[in-house]
Amino acid sequence: MNLTIENILLVGSILLLISIFAGKTSYKFGVPTLLLFLAIGMLAGSDGIGGIRFDDPKLTQFIGIVSLNFILFSGGLDTNFTAVKPILKEGIALSTIGVLLTAVSLGTFVWFVTDFTIYESLLLGSIVSSTDAAAVFSILRSKSLALKNNLRPTLELESGSNDPMAYVLTLAFLTLVINQDKGFLSIIPLFLQQMVLGGIFGIGFGMLSKYIINKIKLDFEGLYPVLVIAMMFMTFSATDFVGGNGFLAIYICAVYLGNQDIIHKKTILKMFDGLAWLMQIVLFLTLGLLVFPSQIVPYMGIGLLISLFLIVVARPVGVFISLMFFKMKLRRRFYISWVGLRGAVPIVFSTYPLLAGIDKAHMIFNIVFFISVTSILIQGTTLSIVAKWLNVALPEQSKKLNATDLLLAENPKAEMKEILITAGCSAVNKKIVELGFPKNAIIAMIKRGDSYIIPNGVTVIETQDTLIVLADRPAIFEEVYETLKK
């Protein structure tokens, strides 16, 4: 079947429905949802029962970049900086030094066991050097896996922030493969340029986005997520245009926004959570369609060998060396090593050699695809088991949702208080977004006269308003009173 304008929506919607229903039951059998999305795409493709002919790496790369924008931005919005701050240094070390060491150690191994040149080997190592944000976010959160000692924020911070490093290394070694006359040191300026500009533009656009979101007055609440999407794409494209790392910029921008008081924040977060899932499904389905299973079979042997080396040696080497200067128990390091999930990102990055037209591009693509599948299948299905073996999982009765999860899910709170706003209160005539309200509390409703108002960020507090405030513990109300008085 050839995809046309007339049938692409029908085919796409059918695949989307199948993916959603398959994902609903996948964990009953211990199979990661993302792997099922990929399998459905492969079954629908040229070698599968669907017979859909799709062989367009350029379109796949475009879909991949757009999808990664949403996935990384959503992950950044959901990153609680308070939880991340204690492990910020460890996360940065893993996402930079750890990725580099993984790429180099795996690349060296590939050079020894294949007929690849050293630069081709390092290119392959770079493509699969980062953990996949989509895989880590979806599996950890779908399993509601509670981990000890800030392990979960460490893993989520690493997976959300290490794609930029892998992207830079991929571009750098691809340049060296194409231009054999260039030396290894020539990639250092590219690395510095990408990272520095990515960081600067990420912070800059984060501040600009907050200002625009809070100052602009839109007539419809549903337009605010659209505004944020526009700012997200502007952040990525502007950073990329000046030679910076767009993936790093949008992640930093999203982390900044997610930890600020912005108008209609709850609506924006929910919208991006849904879009991130949609993009994950679309991305994995597209990658599945692009793959020809018959072409992967000849590389299964070498692919399995490389994949096992990555899981057992290269990833642990990157983790243990990058964390050697931090105090951390051995079992925590082992678990971080095991959660080195490879998913869609390496497959998207492997389209760059295809579009560049290098000799071994198809071989690299097929090996990378096999590595990603085996990583999700082996590591993704055993996260809970390994966590229990290493004693890094919290007991079932100790699992608790954090305050942000509770508020977003609108679950009942342990504490609720009604607070009367008097004429002398400094909160009078201020918008809620301007109050600097504690993160662990929300104004669920405002009683104004005989009516009740469901507030949002632009709601102005008036004298004699009664605020119905929810918080996850009594101590938070002291912060609430201080906020309303100051």
Pick the closest to residue 250 from 239, 261, 262, 266 (CA basis). Answer: 239
Write down the pLDDT at residue 144.
Answer: 55
Write down the pLDDT at residue 236.
Answer: 95
Q: In the structure, what pLDDT confidence band is assigned to residue 181 with cuts at 50, 70 and 90?
A: confident
> Which residue pairs, CB below 8 angstroms and at least 24 apart, start in 211-216?
213/257, 213/262, 213/263, 214/261, 214/262, 214/263, 214/433, 214/457
Write down the pLDDT at residue 480.
Answer: 81
- 357-398 pLDDT, tens per residue? 888 888 999 899 889 888 888 887 788 788 888 888 766 544
Quick one: CA dihedral 157, 320, 143, 84, positive or negative? Answer: negative
Residue, of 107 and 472, whose pLDDT is higher? 107
Six token digits for residue 16: 């989307």
Q: What is the mean pLDDT of residues 70-94?
A: 85
Write down the pLDDT at residue 397.
Answer: 46
Sheet of 466-471, strand order: 415-420, 466-471, 441-448, 451-453
Q: Which residues pair with 448 in a beta bridge?
A: 451
- 74-84 pLDDT, tens per residue? 888 888 777 78
Element (H, E) at 419: strand 415-420
Cα distance between residue 476 and residue 412, in whole Å: 16
Cα distance between residue 349 and residue 175, in whole Å: 14
- CATH 3.30.70.1450 given to domain 405-485: yes
Q: What is the mean pLDDT of residues 196-208?
A: 94
Q: Is the pLDDT of residue 137 over 70?
A: no
Residue, of 329 and 316, whose pLDDT is higher? 316
8-398 CATH, one of 1.20.1530.20, 3.40.50.300, 3.40.50.11540, 1.10.2020.10? 1.20.1530.20
- 157-174 pLDDT, tens per residue? 888 788 888 988 998 899
Q: In the structure, what pLDDT confidence band is assigned to residue 203 with cuts at 50, 70 and 90?
A: very high
Six token digits for residue 96: 């930079």
- 215-261 pLDDT, tens per residue? 888 888 888 899 999 999 999 999 999 989 898 999 999 999 988 88
pTM beyond cutoff 0.85: no
Judge whether 477 and 415 are in contact, CB under 8 Å.
Answer: yes
Q: What is the mean pLDDT of residues 466-471?
A: 83
Element (H, E) at 414: none
Write down the pLDDT at residue 411.
Answer: 43
Six token digits for residue 348: 């998207």
Task: Report the SS3 class of residue 43.
Answer: helix
Q: Where are the domains of the chain?
A: 8-398, 405-485
Pick the closest to residue 419 from 476, 366, 369 (CA basis). Answer: 476
What does the angle CA 364 – CA 367 – CA 373 come to, to the nearest 5 degrees?
A: 135
Write down the pLDDT at residue 3.
Answer: 60
Write down the pLDDT at residue 1.
Answer: 59
Q: Please enumerate in sequence order all residues whose Cβ is within 8 A of that of 78, keeping only pairs 6 or more positions apart, or say none.
A: 137, 258, 269, 273, 404
Residue, of 132 and 332, whose pLDDT is higher? 332
Q: Which residues pair with 441 in a beta bridge?
A: 471
- Fold match between 8-398 and 405-485? no
Cα distance between residue 266 and residue 256, in whole Å: 15
Cα distance between residue 322 and residue 105, in whole Å: 13
